[in-house]
């Protein structure tokens, strides 16, 4: 998902019109400066929090439930109105760490705080001359006193008049504040209530250190009645200590915002490139959802990842889902198709660069179901038709290989199809078939012995899918894929007795032909073995599909013949109907468990030839992927038994 989002961002940004390109570049520069200024501002207030620097912004945004920019914009007046910031010595994390914060929220503790505050407020009104409940207490007074002292107020021979008392030096002011403070904090009733709070903190292991902190900062107890408000008050007062740094940050943000608004106007007018890309995806591929971008402006203005909304249709109704939800709603094949969106984004972005591009597509078809496989091929064809695009398509899937060749060889950039040939020491490429192998088999089975033999499994499967498995023709060709005895009841000869002419008659019937061969009386078994021996003798570097099929059949013939001749019951295999090679090998293992060398050979026979002699959904893919060396070695090993 994240890759798709990032690709989407790249596409939208890179395809903005030239009209807003300069504005966007300016925004990038301003944003860079804005981020630097924001970082400097946060580092200024960092010491107040007692937290790691990288979580300060998150702490502020969580407290005020908005992003940092909106917070500053909405609270700037309130911050500037704080003439004398409070609580500068209070460390945020001493109170709002997880353990202490959880304890302070307990109802029993909250009740004690309420009782303490009630007594405190009463004492402020009744026992002090200068303090006033809720507006001006000893903490406010001490804060002002410190500010006057730090700024040399009395050294400049100024005086302060509180009510009717005129104060001319800092010592006198501090003495008055201390006396007023002691009238409240030393009151027996308040002291008793504070002792209860102290005991409650002391009883909790996780709050014992905090107890000492409260003892040194007793004046903040009254704020615990509303912890969320106190959290905000602390942050606002921290910031109020650094109005100069805040002012620089705010002014730059406002300037950036003006530019952002300009780009927003253009962004709303722009029929963005992503709409076209999503249309490509929707129109080409079959998926039960549609996609739209939920935050186009934020992608451009705030450099945020694109937020995708998926409208899922389950056949009953539609529902908007997020990325994680849509993945749970899709089948595995549908999820894989979804990732094609990422590919389309990247390709369409590359097209805009107007430079030569190389696209390597590696087994893309294996990831998707058939209903989308051909849509992929059509999109690959579109890419191939781009004059600046070069493309290499890799696949093990024979069906996909054939289809790509048929669909793409007409494009101007087509340079041919190659096959990778693997040996023990190297991998090299040879020219691939120029035409589809199956029409060639049909055309040449009378003139090419390899084509004739290769048609046996091919035609057998055609009969299976048309006439059915009860057909005499089907049973005849099936008996040529394994070493089978004569089936008198079905009038099917033993494997070694079938004549080329008998099989030719079947081929002509299926293909509606009247072809003839030079030696119709030759045994098919002998023909297969002869072809295999020639392949080994000629030692061709590259074996085509026909050669691999012939070798596979010969390997199976020799392996099954050897086992049948050596087991105690030579007729045990007569009634085996399915997975014959595997069951024949298992019988040999039971009777000769100690002959590890032979068992190893037969296991390889079973592994390499079990699926190779049948048309399946992968269209001979196992044979395409099987190396020539492995087949040659296996044939030699079986022949040497």
pLDDT value for 301: 52
Average pLDDT over residues 481-498: 89
Under the banding of pLDDT at 50, 70 and 90, the label for residue 451 is very high
Angle at 166 between CA 163 and CA 167, to 5 degrees: 120
pLDDT of 32 reads: 82
* pLDDT tens digits along 194-210: 667 666 666 666 676 77
pLDDT of residue 637: 92
Residue predicted with more confidence, 105 or 623: 105
- Asked which of 175-179, 498-502, 581-585, 611-615 is least confident by mean pLDDT, the reply is 611-615
* Model pLDDT, residue 75: 92
Long-range CB pairs of 60-69, under 8 A, 24+ apart, other chains included? 60/235, 63/228, 63/231, 63/232, 63/235, 64/232, 64/235, 68/38, 69/253
Residue 474: pLDDT above 90? yes
pTM exceeds 0.75 for this model: no
**Of the listed ranges 23-37, 78-92, 382-396, the one predicted with least confidence:** 23-37
Is residue 17 predicted with pLDDT exceeding 50?
Answer: no
What pLDDT is attached to residue 1? 42
**Percentage of the chain modeled with pLDDT above 90:** 24
Using CA atoms, how far apart are residues 226 and 36, in angstroms rounded to an integer? 35
Q: Which residue has the higher pLDDT, 507 or 569?
A: 507
In this prediction, residues 557-565 reach a mean pLDDT of 90
Using one digit for the tens of pLDDT, what is the confidence trace for 243-265?
A: 999 999 998 888 888 777 776 67
What is the per-residue DSSP string for 578-620? SSHHHHHHHHHHHH-TT-HHHHHHHHHHHHHHTTTTS--TTSS
* Low-confidence winner among 1-10, 474-483, 591-600 (lowest mean pLDDT): 1-10
- Is residue 19 predicted with pLDDT exceeding 50? no
Highest mean pLDDT of the ranges 136-150, 195-209, 303-317: 195-209
For the chain, give the mean pLDDT: 77
Residue 622 — pLDDT band, cuts 50, 70, 90? Answer: low
């Amino acid at each position: 998902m994240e890759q798709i989002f990032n690709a989407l961002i790249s596409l939208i940004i890179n395809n903005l019109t030239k009209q807003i390109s300069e504005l966007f570049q300016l925004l990038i520069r301003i944003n860079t400066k804005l981020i630097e200024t924001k970082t400097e501002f946060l580092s200024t207030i960092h010491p107040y929090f007692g937290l790691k620097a990288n979580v300060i912004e998150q702490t502020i945004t969580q407290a005020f439930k908005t992003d940092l920019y909106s917070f500053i914009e909405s609270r700037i007046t309130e911050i500037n109105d704080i003439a004398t910031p409070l609580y500068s010595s209070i460390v945020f994390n001493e109170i709002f760490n997880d353990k202490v914060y959880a304890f302070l929220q307990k109802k029993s503790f909250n009740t004690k705080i309420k009782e303490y505050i009630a007594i405190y407020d009463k004492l402020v009104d009744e026992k002090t001359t200068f303090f006033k409940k809720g507006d001006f207490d000893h903490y406010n007074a001490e804060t002002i006193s410190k500010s006057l002292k730090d700024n040399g107020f009395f050294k400049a021979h100024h005086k302060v008049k509180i009510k009717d008392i005129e104060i001319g030096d800092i010592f006198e002011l501090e003495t008055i504040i201390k006396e007023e403070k002691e009238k409240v904090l030393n009151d027996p009733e308040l002291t008793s209530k504070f002792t209860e709070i102290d005991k409650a903190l002391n009883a909790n292991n996780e709050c014992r250190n905090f107890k000492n902190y409260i003892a040194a900062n007793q004046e903040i107890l009254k704020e615990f009645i509303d912890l969320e408000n106190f959290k905000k008050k602390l942050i606002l007062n921290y910031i109020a200590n650094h109005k100069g740094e805040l002012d620089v940050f705010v002014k730059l943000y406002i300037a950036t915002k003006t530019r952002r608004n300009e780009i927003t106007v253009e962004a709303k007018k722009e029929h963005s490139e992503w709409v076209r890309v999503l249309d490509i995806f929707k129109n080409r591929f079959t998926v039960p959802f549609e996609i739209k971008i939920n935050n186009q402006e934020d992608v451009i203005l705030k450099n945020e990842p694109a937020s995708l909304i998926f409208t899922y249709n389950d056949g009953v109704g539609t529902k908007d889902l997020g990325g994680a939800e849509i993945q749970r709603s899709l089948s595995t094949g549908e999820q894989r198709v979804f990732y094609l969106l990422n590919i389309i984004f990247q390709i369409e972005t590359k097209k805009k660069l107007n430079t030569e591009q190389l696209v390597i597509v590696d087994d893309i078809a294996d990831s998707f179901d058939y209903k989308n496989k051909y849509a992929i091929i059509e999109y690959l064809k579109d890419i191939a038709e781009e004059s600046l695009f070069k493309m290499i398509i890799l696949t093990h899937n024979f069906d996909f290989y054939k289809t790509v060749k048929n669909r793409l060889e007409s494009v101007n950039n087509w340079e041919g199809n190659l096959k990778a040939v693997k040996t023990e020491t190297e991998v090299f490429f040879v020219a691939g078939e120029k035409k589809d192998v199956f029409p060639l088999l049909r055309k040449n089975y009378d003139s090419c012995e390899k084509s004739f033999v290769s048609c046996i499994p091919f035609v057998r499967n055609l009969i299976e899918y048309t006439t059915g498995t009860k057909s005499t023709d089907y049973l005849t060709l099936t008996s040529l894929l394994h070493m089978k005895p004569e089936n008198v009841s079905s009038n099917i000869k033993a494997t070694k007795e079938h004549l080329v002419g008998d099989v030719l008659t079947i081929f002509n019937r299926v293909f509606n032909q009247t072809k003839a061969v030079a030696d119709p009386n030759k045994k098919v078994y002998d023909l297969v073995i002869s072809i295999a021996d020639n392949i080994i003798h000629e030692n061709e570097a590259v074996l085509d599909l026909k050669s691999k099929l012939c070798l596979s059949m010969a390997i199976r013939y020799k392996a099954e013949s050897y086992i049948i001749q050596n087991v105690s019951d030579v007729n045990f295999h007569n009634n085996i109907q399915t997975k014959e090679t595997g069951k024949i090998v298992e019988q040999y293992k039971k009777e000769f468990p100690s002959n590890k060398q032979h068992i190893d050979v037969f296991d390889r026979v079973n592994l390499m030839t079990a699926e190779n002699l049948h048309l399946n959904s992968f269209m001979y893919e196992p044979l395409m992927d099987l190396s020539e060396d492995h087949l040659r070695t296996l044939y030699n090993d079986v022949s040497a038994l």
